[in-house]
Amino acid sequence: MLRRKLLTVLFIIILLPVLVVLFESATTFMSQRKSTTDTTGRYVQNLADYASDRWNEGKPAQLTTFLSLVADYGYNRLISGEKFPLPKADDRNASARRDKFIPGMVAYVTSRGKVIFSSENADILATIFSGVMAETSGLAADNGAIVGSFLYGENRISYVAHISTTRNHMVYAVAAVTMLSWMGRNDFNMMKLAFAGILGMLICLVGLFLLRGSVIKPLQALSSQVETTRWGEETPQFGTNGIFGKLRVEEISSLKKALTDLACRMIDKESLEKRYVGDIIKAQEDERGRIAQDIHDGPIQVVSALIQRIQMLDIASRGIPDAAKQLADSEDIAQNLVEDLRDICDSLVPPWVSLGLASCIEEASNRFERQHSITVNAVVDPELAVSQETTLALFRIFQEAVSNAVRHGHADTVSVEASRCSGGRVLEFIISDNGAGFVPETKTPDTLVQKGQRGLAGMRRRVELLGGEFEINSTPGVGTGIIVRI
């Protein structure tokens, strides 16, 4: 069973590590994303609260200074097309400006969604604010942060935002950070790596299923077709190779072609062998006819002439003591010899074959009873119409079966039955006896000949030439049954 399912087992062995890596990559990606979102949420909440405090102080100069220090350079780089401005080497205030840099976007928005003040390129916060207020964008996290995304050109930009109230209930401090700016290079690369791992595993998974559809399933179908093909009688019918018939494996196609060629050669071999066996059987029948004719024209005529001379001597020797008795005995011997020779001729070329199957079996049964001193019970459907060739083949099978039953099985009763057959066959021919029986083996005609069982081999070959089925059922001590379906 394991050998039959080896391809499936190998597929599962390859698939399991891929699924494990896919699960681990997805888990790492989601964990990293959640961790980043939680950290960003706490940061952006503090930024929004700090912006709210600056507004509540009511000092415009400090508010302007604060907003000038806030910049989301990842997002700004997209809309400005400029790279992140790096400080020059001779810039003495570079360190100070770098220390004052606050990542993110801050805007003060009215309850109607109008921006009053904002940091660089933070107008998008009005859209985010309006969407949140309309409950059409963003999801609130556990810490009160708003997670969402907006489309800028062809880029889908993820953000984390927070809205804080001010003392002026008509103004809100909105702060947000896009993932382009907030995530550090290592964190961002980690997420890209996890995403790449997920994508790679998905590609591997698709590849495995393509492998299953283009290699494993075609091989399984090929194996099933090979097992169910009747070699020597038909060619295997292979379906398309691969998924949707497009992804084909050249080696499997070549294997199918080779198997088809092999099946065609086996059909040719079987056809040639049948013709060869048919020619042999025909030659045997012709030789039997020649022998029967030679016996009829030779020994029978000589013995018949001898009988006539004995009869003449019998007439001429009347009155001679004991001569009449000796001549009568000689005549009986000669008559018996003529009868035996005629029986041999009839066995070689049975003339009653031309009378039909029912008459042929009836005549053969009567002769077998006389020849072997046994009881033959024959039941034949008189309405069965078969060809003379089939009738001759069944007679030969019947003749060989009776001979085997008497010689080897020591049977004293043989039954023969011929009737119409169901299942697409014309007739069913059954011969059974009450002999010693034996243990039958499933062998080819050639193997039977090698084992010395020429009679069984001849019966099987005759049935095969007629395109029929041959079956032997035998039990030691019970008897033997031969079933022929044509």
pLDDT in tens, 11-33: 677 667 767 776 776 777 677 77
> Is residue 339 over pLDDT 80?
no
* C-alpha to C-alpha distance for 434 and 287, rounded to whole angstroms: 33
Q: Is the pLDDT of residue 431 over 90?
A: yes
Q: Find the domain containing 101 and state its range.
A: 6-197
Q: What is the pLDDT of residue 40?
A: 84
Q: Give the model's pLDDT for residue 86.
A: 42
DSSP string for residues in 191-220: HHHHHHHHHHHHHHHHHHHHHIIIIIHHHH
Mean pLDDT of all residues in 329-356 = 74
Residue 389 belongs to some domain of the structure: yes
Residue 230 lies in a domain: no
Domain count, the chain: 2
Q: How many Cβ atoms from other residues are within 10 Å of residue 38's Cβ?
A: 15
339, exposed or middle or buried, with CB in 10 Å at 0-12, 13-18, 19+? exposed
DSSP lists the bridge partners of residue 140 as: 146
User: Is position 71 within any domain?
Assistant: yes
The whole-number pLDDT of residue 185 equals: 43
Among all chains, which residue has been given the structure tokens 């019966």?
459
Boundary residue ending a domain (142, 173, 197): 197
- C-alpha dist (Å) from residue 23 to 27, 31, 155, 156, 468: 6, 12, 27, 25, 60
- Residues 350-361 have a mean pLDDT of 84
Query: What is the reported pLDDT for 175?
Result: 92
What CA–CA distance (Å, rounded) separates 372 from 347?
14
* pLDDT at residue 219 in the model: 73
For residue 471, what is the domain's CATH number? Answer: 3.30.565.10
Which residue from 404, 400, 411, 407 is spatially nearest to 459, judged by alpha carbons? 400
Separation of alpha carbons 83 and 60, rounded Å: 30
Chain centroid to Cα 63, Å, comes to 76
With cut-offs at 50, 70 and 90, classify the pLDDT of residue 482: very high
Contacts within 8 Å (CB) and 24+ apart, 315-323: none
Q: What is the pLDDT of residues 227-265, one digit of tens each?
A: 777 776 777 776 655 444 445 666 777 777 787 778 787
At residue 277 the predicted structure's pLDDT band, cuts being 50, 70 and 90, is: low
Query: Does 250 fall in a domain?
Result: no
3-class DSSP assignment, residue 434: coil
Write down which residue in 173, 197, 221 finishes a domain: 197
The string of pLDDT tens digits covering residues 97-148 is 445 578 889 999 998 889 999 988 888 888 888 877 765 444 344 346 788 8
Q: What is the rounded average pLDDT of the residues 347-372?
A: 84
66 versus 233: the higher-pLDDT residue is 66
User: Distance of alpha carbon 84 from its chain centroid, rounded?
Assistant: 61
* pTM as predicted: 0.42
Record the tokens describing residue 316, joined without a space: 């001429």
Q: Is residue 275 part of a domain?
A: no
Strands 375-380 and 413-420: parallel
413 touches 368 (CB < 8 A):
no
Alpha carbon separation from 450 to 7, 365, 444 (Å, rounded): 40, 31, 10
- Which of 197, 224, 251 is the last residue before a domain boundary? 197
Strands 375-380 and 171-178: unpaired
Task: Report how far residue 62's alpha carbon sits from residue 405's, in angstroms, rounded to the nearest whole number.
Answer: 123
pLDDT, average across residues 50-70: 89
Q: How far apart are CA 164 and CA 133, in angstroms?
A: 13
Query: Is 36 domain-assigned?
Result: yes
Backbone angles phi, psi at 309, to 5 degrees: -65, -40
What distance in Å separates the CA atoms of residue 163 and residue 159, rounded to the nearest whole number?
13
Query: What would the pLDDT profile of 142-169 be if each residue is shown by its tens digit?
Result: 346 788 888 777 777 888 899 998 888 8
Domain assignment of residue 327, yes or no: no
Q: Identify whether 89 is part of a domain.
A: yes
Q: Give the C-alpha separation, 421 to 405, whole Å.
A: 25
Residue 218 has pLDDT above 80, yes or no: no
Tell me 113's DSSP state: S
Helices (H), 408-468: 445-450, 454-465
| pLDDT surpasses 90 at 415 | yes
Say if strands 70-71 and 171-178 run parallel, antiparallel, or are unpaired: unpaired
C-beta separation of 304 from 325 below 8 A: no
pLDDT for the residue numbered 480 = 92
